[in-house]
Structure 1
Amino acid sequence: MRLVAISALIALLLDQVSKYAVVHGMELARVRAIDVLPPLLNFRYGENRGINFGLMDGDGDLARWVLVVLALLICCAVLWWLRGAPQRPIVFVSAGLLIGGALGNVVDRVFYGYVLDFLNMSCCGIRNPFVFNVGDIFIFAGAIGLVFFAQDKKRA
């Protein structure tokens, strides 16, 4: 479980440092858009009050706190699930990344009322209108890691 905590802490810190550096340090909140490697990578300011891609976007305080509690419950459920998961380092790191990314978004919701998003990627003539953050990358990577590496080969 120590590996879970270390991975979660690293993911949480990288998420929060990246948000601070880009949104506040590079003043993305003021300028709204910075082209980094267009069209592949751009910084676009976003405030996500919902879930992924703005689903369940609610401006009310109730929605904010429901999403905070839901994220914390999911983190607890992942920790509970780990008790019976294969005891491999990659499984613990994956769980830690998922938890750390989720906690990064929880920190945003608590302090700002929304999740700060700033990454935008487009390619091949297709313009992506959505933005995400480093925490979202960790959530995705952690979930994929759990899907692929948390299978009990004895039971399979």
Structure 2
Amino acid sequence: MPPRSSASPSLAQWLLIATLIIVADQFTKILVIGAFQLGDARPVTGFFNLVRAHNYGAAFSFLHTASGWQRWFFLVLGLAAAAFIIWMLRRHGQQRLFAWALTLILGGALGNVIDRAIHGYVVDFIQLHAGGWYFPAFNIADSAITVGAVLLIVDELRRVRRG
């Protein structure tokens, strides 16, 4: 492992950023739970609504209608992914783009794990739509995971280009 310079972010710094994502995610979900009943929707713009939706499954409601075992499966999967990501951050925290990607995914995954542990489902509240087409509702944690995944792809493309 290469030596760390004083300018290299430490594991603690990456974990702090992940914690800020978790706090923002949970705070917004608390606001939505307090202001909306399940199924409520409030238009914000012509393409964006605030809603309250519960997702018992995973991305795009995958396994949403399963008999309940998926709560524990996705909770354990999220915790296992978090442990792996922390291990990766410990080893590669000096690779800034890669570490940013992992940190965003970590914060998002744990934000949704907290929902599954507390509620048994994930609270979604952001809904985008256009021309009668509605994208599935999502939340800040999902957004962080998505941006992190895009950054992982960009990081890998840059790595291949350099190689």
| TM-score between both structures, scaled by the size of structure 1 | 0.85
Match of 2:7 in 1: none
Which sits farther off after the overlay, 87-96 or 10-19? 87-96
If you compute each CA radius of gyration, which structure gives the higher value, 1 or 2?
2
In the alignment, the residues of structure 2 paired with residue 41 and residue 19 of structure 1 have an alpha-carbon distance, to the nearest angstrom, of 17
| Letter in structure 2 aligned against 1:73 | A
Match of 1:9 in 2: 19
Equivalent residue for 1:29, pick from 26, 34, 37: 37
Aligned-residue RMSD, C-alpha: 2.3
In the alignment, the residues of structure 1 paired with residue 154 and residue 139 of structure 2 have an alpha-carbon distance, to the nearest angstrom, of 23
In the alignment, the residues of structure 1 paired with residue 22 and residue 50 of structure 2 have an alpha-carbon distance, to the nearest angstrom, of 20
- Contact persistence 1:94–1:145 (CA under 8 A): yes
Higher relative contact order (CA 8 A, sep 6+): 1
| Letter in structure 2 aligned against 1:18 | T
Which sits farther off after the overlay, 145-154 or 111-120? 145-154
| Letter in structure 2 aligned against 1:131 | A
In the alignment, the residues of structure 2 paired with residue 155 and residue 75 of structure 1 have an alpha-carbon distance, to the nearest angstrom, of 29
- Asked whether 1:133 is paired with 2:139, we answer yes
- Asked whether 1:20 is paired with 2:20, we answer no
| TM-score between both structures, scaled by the size of structure 2 | 0.82
Match of 2:154 in 1: 148
Query: Unmatched 5+ residue regions in structure 2?
Result: 1-10
Identity over aligned pairs, percent: 29
Counterparts of 1:4-153 in structure 2, within 5 Å, are 4-24=14-34, 27-29=35-37, 32-38=40-46, 40-58=47-65, 60-83=67-90, 85=92, 87-123=94-130, 125-149=131-155, 152=159
Count of residue pairs the alignment pairs up: 152
